[in-house]
C-alpha cells in the first residue's frame, strides 16, 4: 500500500512539473542571467517552487525510511535477529535534514524572484 501511495504521489509530481511554466533545469542558469521581465522572473520562481516541493517529498520519504528502520516491523537479515539499524536511521535523518534545508533555500529563491517580478512589473 505504501509503495502504491509513493508511486501515485510521484506520478502527480511529474504531471505537475510537466504542466507548469518553469524552464527546463538545463536552462535555469541562462534564465537567471538573462531575466529582464516579470514573466522571466515568474518562470524562475516556478522552477524553485517545484524544486521545493520535490525536496519536501524527498525529506518525507527519508523520514518514513528512518521510521521503517526503527520499527519492530523492520526486516530481519537472512533470518538472523535484527541488526542495529542506528547507522541507517542516522543516514536517513541526515538526508531528511538536508532536503528540508534545500526546500527552505528553494522557497527563499522562489520568493526573491517573485519580488523581482513584482518590481519589474511596476
DSSP state of 50: H
Is residue 48 within 8 Å of 106, Cβ to Cβ?
Answer: yes
Q: In this predicted model, what pLDDT tens digit does every residue of 13-41 receive, in sequence order?
A: 555 554 557 778 888 899 999 999 999 99
Q: In this predicted model, what pLDDT tens digit does every residue of 76-103 receive, in sequence order?
A: 555 545 567 889 999 999 999 999 999 9
Closest residue by Cα to residue 108 from 33, 70, 51, 59: 51
- Chain centre distance of CA 24: 16
Amino acid at each position: 500500500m505504501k509503495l502504491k501511495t509513493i508511486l501515485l504521489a510521484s506520478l502527480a509530481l511529474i504531471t505537475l512539473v510537466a504542466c507548469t511554466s518553469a524552464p527546463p533545469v538545463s536552462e535555469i542558469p541562462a534564465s537567471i542571467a538573462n531575466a529582464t521581465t516579470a514573466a522571466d522572473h515568474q518562470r524562475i520562481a516556478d522552477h524553485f517552487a517545484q524544486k521545493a516541493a520535490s525536496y519536501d517529498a524527498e525529506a518525507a520519504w527519508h523520514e518514513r525510511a528512518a521510521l521503517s528502520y526503527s520499527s519492530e516491523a523492520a526486516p530481519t537479515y537472512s533470518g538472523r535477529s535484527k541488526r542495529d539499524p542506528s547507522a541507517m536511521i542516522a543516514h536517513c535523518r541526515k538526508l531528511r535534514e538536508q532536503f528540508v534545508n534545500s526546500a527552505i533555500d528553494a522557497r527563499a529563491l522562489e520568493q526573491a524572484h517573485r519580488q523581482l517580478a513584482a518590481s519589474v512589473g511596476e
